Amino acid sequence: MTRYIRHAACFCALLLMALLVNATRVQVFQARSHDENPANRRENIARYGQQRGDILVGGRPVTGSRDTGEQLRYERTYANGPLYAPVTGFASQEYGTTFLEHAEDGLLSGADPLLTPFPLWNDFTRSRNPGGNVVTTLNRAAQKAAYDGLGGRKGAVAAVEPATGRILALVSSPSYDPAVLSGNDPGVGRSWARLNDDVDRPMLNRAVRQTYPPGSTFKVVTAAAALDAGVIKDVDEPTDSPAPYTLPGTRTSLTNESEGCADLSLREAFRWSCNTVFAKLGVEVGVGDMTATAHAFGFNDRSLRIPFSVSPSTFDPTVDKAQLALSSIGQYNTRATPLQMAMVAAAVANGGQIRTPYLVERTTTDDGDTVTTAGSRPVRQAMQPSTAVRLKELMTQVVTEGTGTNAAIAGATVGGKTGTAQHGVGNSGTPYAWFVSWAQGERDIEPRVAVAVVVEDASANRGEITGGGVAAPIARAVMQKVLNSRK
Amino acid sequence: MTKAGTTVAPADAPAPAVRLPRRRGIELALIVLAVLLCVYGYCAVGLAKNGTVPPGAAGYGAGLGVLALVAHGAVRLRAPCADPLLLPIGVLLNGLGLVLIYRLDLETPGDRAAPAQLVWSTVGVALFIAVVLALRDHRVLQRYAYVCVAAALVLLVLPILFPAVNGARIWIRIAGFSIQPGEFAKVLLAVFFAAYLAANRNALAFAGRRFWGLQLPTGRVLGPLLAIWLISVGVLVLERDLGTSLLFFGLFVVLLYVATGLTGWIALGLLLAAVGAFAVGWLEPHVHSRVEDWLHPFASIEAGQGPNQLAQSLFAFAAGGILGSGLGLGHSVLIGFAAKSDFILATAGEELGLAGLSAIFLLYGLLVERGYRAGLALRDPFGRLLAIGLASIVALQVFVIAGGVGGLIPLTGMAMPFLAQGGSSVVTNWAIVALLIRVSDSARGQYDGEETP
């Protein structure tokens, strides 16, 4: 009997071994895959178990956290949700994160390993770092001026500092309050459905995720290409261009809004925004050089992150001459985000150089120690410095004695370009009013701000709509606020 | 073995030539250690959840300590030669179970289970003391073999008269208390099996024809085997309790093998078990769904219905990793229903980690090993089979439920001995430990320095 008892004991030992091996299998080898299973709520419980870090504008947080006492404990709050929604995005327990909340999620939620004092420290202690803070480049006053200027009309404003690429304002209208999406109660689902079904698409970030035909504002790029390519040697020399202009290879004739564009010099044509002159110039420059210049300004760039992605602005490189003529005046397949057009103005203001735009000045731990800084951004030469000087002069004239007088600021040098883009079948859509500009204060050694404004539903009377009437005042208010603020 | 039958075995062998050390001091020291560990766990839960030592810590420690010391006193008085490890292991596991249940109570403020569990533990220890004091010689039980089996059958059949709870008819509810009679039946059946096999093992081993090299039993002795098999299947079908039926059958097969050493019977038993399990697994929807869950624990997630209990249990184990999250810092309450009973091991796995879980498994292993050791040391076949049977109940039960919640075998509702919430289970386990104390006392008390046959 003793022998059989020993056999039975061996059997029990086998059972014990099986349990130990199984426990090791589940707790060690499968642990990672179980931990990462989306149905496992532990990661979310840990994530929302502490306050989320804040996003700061002008030294003050525009976000916060609210203790709900639920299983997912902290919910996101926003100090002025609609104003900063295109920058912050939302941080929802139900629908994930967008924009800065998404791009900086690791830091804000405390998961970023850079927040750890020592490598692998958290793996050892099973703790989670407090969420870090994100300091933005935004200018509070400029952001507010842009938002108030749009006044709920569909449109967007983007403002950058030409010398650095810091984004000073990023506004999209109409906007929404991201706080309504923060929690996980049934109301959040209803808000989500309502925002998605809204015909005005309030969650669309028109400043970086919507491209518009840039219309006449694109003439800045065409003029730069013509000057760089040597098609224009002297801005005051007549351009030998007919008005109306028959598009090459077609019988379509292109006309102007204003009279007397025939044979105007580049300076006058720029001031009065003559379509015929710039269409012809584009054709003379040729598709290769036009595309190269547009690319240098940032068109067709799919890789721009500020740190969230920006929809690529487009300039079609596969066009015939008639299409090139239209592309050169910002029609046909030419499309740009407001941020892209602000970069165009910034390139002119900054001696032809484009600094990659960015929104995050630096990130810190919750007690203020710097984690990362923006540092110096890559620079790209969009045009020759001499071309930039001449374009600066042309843009200044638009504001002093052309279509953009609404943007003038007393005691400051302002350069701008208006635009009215038509779209839709047979131009039936509401035109887009554009204004791009830059401004330099009396005591500044270089331009402080470059702005692009687009307003979609400008006015009922299409004939009256020009960027100068609707968009320029908004740009002026934004530039004024930036010039007034301390450097 | 000189004599077989259901009568009491012959009187004690001559007085032991070599007297073994009694080791009661070691037992006392280990009990103190076990109580301290449990109090430490209790404090750790409070510190983790509320940042303060829980107000009842001193009372809890004193209560557990007094219970353990009284039990120790009873062992000193009436079983001075008993194995010194059995009681401390019982105290430690019971105390740890109370800590885990208290910890889960903090997550479910409306449903406190720890106070009731403490009361049941007290009842269990009282039963332990009663058994140790009253049962002077385990061989007395041999007389009551058929009383035991009758009582066991009544207890098993009783729940069929009561409504099903959560898909299984294993509870009876009297005056607000739920009792699982099947738990008590385990001990009674172990006594009966031991007595029956001790009496008939020679007849079982040597009678019958040989067929294909296997020693087949005669019909007269095959009857009881088939009867037990039918009871197991009956329990399974009528009460939808896969775990209990598996346990009964496994217990019987182990004891049959130990008593006769006939592998042919084991093969036949396993064949019958496999046929039964397979048939029921396919035909009975409740059991079938358990098998499906075992094969595809994440199917409900893929179907968009969220994780089921087994998936949540696996998540909990995985979240524990090697060192665990620490008592009170896990989220095993996500398992929901039965987190304090069947799935209590998941809490242990998450908060104590692989290290703590392995320690718990090894504690059970040690308990079983002490039972087997007593079985090896004893002389009378009934005592041996009883010790093996009781130890095997613990081993099989731990395997069935720990394997179930860990995804090793299909999940069956069963209480983790000592750890899980459930009064009947705690009381039964203390009875098992009491009987093991009794047989180990006999084993060591009669030791005379000679090898057992």
A353 neighbors A297 (Cβ within 8 angstroms)? no
ipTM score of the complex? Answer: 0.91
A287 neighbors A320 (Cβ within 8 angstroms)? no
Q: Among residues A216, A273, A327, A437, which one is catalytic?
A: A216
Percent of chain A with pLDDT over 70: 96
Q: In this predicted model, what pLDDT tens digit does every residue of A174-193 receive, in sequence order?
A: 999 999 999 888 999 999 99
Is A311 labeled as catalytic in the residue annotation?
no
Asked if residue B452 has pLDDT above 50, the reply is: no
Distance from B362 to chain A by nearest Cα, in Å? 8
Q: In this predicted model, what pLDDT tens digit does every residue of B257-303 receive, in sequence order?
A: 898 887 777 787 788 778 877 887 787 787 788 888 898 999 888 88
Most confident of A148-162, A450-464, B49-63, B240-254: A148-162
Average pLDDT for A52-78: 92
Asked if residue A461 has pLDDT above 70, the reply is: no
- Return the pLDDT at A427: 63
pTM score above 0.90: no
For residue B1, name the pLDDT band (cuts at 50, 70, 90).
very low
A461 and chain B in contact, CB less than 8 A: no
- Return the pLDDT at A463: 46
Asked if residue B453 has pLDDT above 60, the reply is: no
Judged by average pLDDT, the poorest of B100-109, B388-397, B441-450 is B441-450
Asked if residue B8 has pLDDT above 60, the reply is: no
- Return the pLDDT at B212: 64
Asked if residue B11 has pLDDT above 60, the reply is: no
> Which residue from B365, B372, B384 is facing A16, i.e. has the nearest CB?
B365
Q: Spell out which residues of chain B touch residue A30, defining contact as CB-CB under 8 Å.
A: 314, 318
Element holding B172 (H helix, E strand): strand B172-174
DSSP string, A122-161: HHHH---PPPPEEEE---HHHHHHHHHHHTTSSEEEEEE-
Q: In this predicted model, what pLDDT tens digit does every residue of A107-130 receive, in sequence order?
A: 999 988 888 878 777 777 778 889
Verify whether the Cβ–Cβ distance B261 to A3 is below 8 Å: yes
Judged by average pLDDT, the poorest of A338-352, B156-170, B209-223, B307-321 is B209-223
- Return the pLDDT at B5: 46
> Which residue from A4, A8, A31 is facing B321, i.e. has the nearest CB?
A31
Verify whether the Cβ–Cβ distance B353 to A18 is below 8 Å: no
Q: Spell out which residues of chain B touch residue A28, defining contact as CB-CB under 8 Å.
A: 321-322, 354
What's the rounded Cα separation, in Å, for the pair B313 and B294? 12
Q: Which residue has the higher pLDDT, B423 or B434?
A: B434
> Which residue from A1, A6, A42 is facing B319, i.e. has the nearest CB?
A42
Average pLDDT for B156-169: 73
Verify whether the Cβ–Cβ distance A39 to B301 is below 8 Å: yes
- Return the pLDDT at B342: 87
Q: In this predicted model, what pLDDT tens digit does every residue of A263-318 receive, in sequence order?
A: 889 998 998 888 899 999 999 999 999 999 999 999 999 999 989 999 999 999 99
Helices (H), B207-262: 219-239, 242-260
E-assigned strand segments in B17-104: none
- Return the pLDDT at B10: 56
- Return the pLDDT at A443: 87
- Return the pLDDT at B126: 96
Q: Spell out which residues of chain B touch residue A49, defining contact as CB-CB under 8 Å.
A: none
Chain centroid offset of residue B326 CA: 27
Q: Please name each of the domains of chain A with its CATH number.
A: 215-363+375-484 (3.40.710.10)
Q: In this predicted model, what pLDDT tens digit does every residue of B201-245 receive, in sequence order?
A: 877 776 566 666 666 666 666 676 677 767 766 766 677 777 787
Verify whether the Cβ–Cβ distance A31 to B399 is below 8 Å: no
- Return the pLDDT at B215: 61
A37 and chain B in contact, CB less than 8 A: yes
- What number of CA atoms fall less than 13 Å from residue B146's CA on the CB side? 5
Q: Spell out which residues of chain A touch residue B399, defining contact as CB-CB under 8 Å.
A: 15-16, 18-19
Asked if residue B410 has pLDDT above 50, the reply is: yes
> Which residue from B257, B331, B365 is facing A4, i.e. has the nearest CB?
B257
Percent of chain B with pLDDT over 90: 44
Percent of chain B with pLDDT over 70: 85
Percent of chain A with pLDDT over 90: 63
Beta pairing, strands A360-364 & A370-373: antiparallel
DSSP string, B339-374: TTTTTHHHHHHHHHHHHHHHHHHHHHHHHHHHHHHH
B128 neighbors B426 (Cβ within 8 angstroms)? no
Q: How far apart are the first and last CA of chain B?
A: 8
Q: Please report, for residues A77, A175, B62, B125, B387, the alpha-carbon distance to residue B24 in angstroms, rounded to integers and kept in the order given.
A: 64, 78, 21, 18, 21
For residue B108, name the pLDDT band (cuts at 50, 70, 90).
confident
- Return the pLDDT at A75: 93
- Return the pLDDT at A184: 87
For residue B412, name the pLDDT band (cuts at 50, 70, 90).
confident
Q: In this predicted model, what pLDDT tens digit does every residue of B113-134 receive, in sequence order?
A: 888 899 999 999 999 999 999 9
Q: Spell out which residues of chain A touch residue B353, defining contact as CB-CB under 8 Å.
A: 27
Rounded to the nearest 5 degrees, what angle is found at the Cα of A467, between the Cα atoms of A463 and A471?
A: 125
Q: Exposed, middle or buried by CB within 10 Å (0-12, 13-18, 19+), for B205?
A: middle
> Collapsing DSSP states into helix, strand and coil, what is residue A418?
strand
Q: Mean pLDDT across chain A, nearest whole number?
A: 89
Verify whether the Cβ–Cβ distance A8 to B358 is below 8 Å: no
> Collapsing DSSP states into helix, strand and coil, what is residue A305?
strand
Q: Please report, for residues B30, B77, B234, the alpha-carbon distance to residue B441 in angstroms, rounded to integers and kept in the order given.
A: 18, 12, 37
Distance from A166 to chain B by nearest Cα, in Å? 43
- Return the pLDDT at A250: 86
Verify whether the Cβ–Cβ distance B259 to A1 is below 8 Å: yes
